[in-house]
Amino acid sequence: MTAQLKVKIKNGKKYFYRFSVQERLQHIILASMVIVLALTGMPLKFHDVQWIRDAYSIFGGIKYAPIVHKVAGTILCLLFLYHLCYLAVNIYKGYILPLKKKEGLNLRNLVKMFLSLPLIPNLKDLQDIIKLLKYLFFIRDRRPEGSEWTWKEKADYWAPFWGAPVLGITGFIMWFQEFSTRFIPGEVINYALIAHSDEALLAALFLFIWHWYNVHFSTSVFPMGTVFITGYLPEELMVEEHYEYYVEVMKQAGLENEILSPHHFEEDNSSRKEKNLLNNEAEERLDVKESSALSPASGLKELKKQETPT
């Protein structure tokens, strides 16, 4: 994609391309299936909680909810296989073919190429985590300047990536017990049940707390992030979360003169707060003057009270 297409200007505001239609559709299917699986699976683990039993009844209770769970699980597994194919095609077209034309293919180049893929964790991610901790503890005065994909987004990606095969394999072992025990010991079914149940709980906690907070409930995006719908991220969030990549894209698009400082929106917020504080103080002084005009004695008393140092 050209740099011009990575930046979209609408109503005077800049928006930065993040996800294709293909990727957004995959995400919507993934999110939908995870919610259905949680609502039809967790009641078996927490059957003594009333609201979970009520949610289970929405899907038909013990008669139909297991069928819904298996259908949703099958869709999730098919989506995972499709995503693997999608990933392989994109890596081949975007990285392996250019590498083959430029340097040729050998083990060293392939390993180097793999480690440089955007969603592979790297040393910068560790550095950004350390910088963020320093920022949160007031040791440094600025956030880490994130690249195209931050360490939080990589965690969001890899958590379901390795969780889906675990849930899929253990789920099919329990679904087709007679077939599975032709090849594996029967006790493996018990291990599969434990792994499936615990991994599902871990995935639900991670997605519904960590992921939803970062993309929907944090102060920067509340009440809901829209990038998973539109595919574009507003300039304010690009500056806050992906400043290094933001500068790179702006330069590629020929917008060097419009690059904002990493503190631009924080400075704007501080200026607004300071302006509001000054306005409040001015209103208080005006109220005191009006009250002194009506009652000189009480007005003088209020003025002395404000002027007295604390």
Q: What is the pLDDT of residues 93-110, one digit of tens each?
A: 999 999 999 888 899 999
Kindly list the domain boundaries of the chain, sorted by start residue.
Answer: 3-260, 267-307
Q: How confident is the model at residue 230 (pLDDT cuts 50, 70, 90)?
A: very high
Structure confidence at residue 164 (pLDDT) = 93
Nearest to 23 by CA among 145, 150, 112, 156: 156
Q: What residue spans of the chain are helical by DSSP H?
A: 3-6, 21-45, 50-58, 61-91, 97-102, 107-115, 123-136, 151-175, 177-180, 187-205, 212, 227-230, 235-241, 243-252, 264-294, 296-307
Question: Using one digit for the tens of pLDDT, what is the confidence trace for 248-289?
Answer: 999 999 999 999 988 766 655 555 555 555 556 656 665 655
Q: Which fold has domain 3-260?
A: Fumarate Reductase Cytochrome B subunit (1.20.950)
Which band of pLDDT confidence, cut at 50, 70 and 90, is reported for residue 247? very high
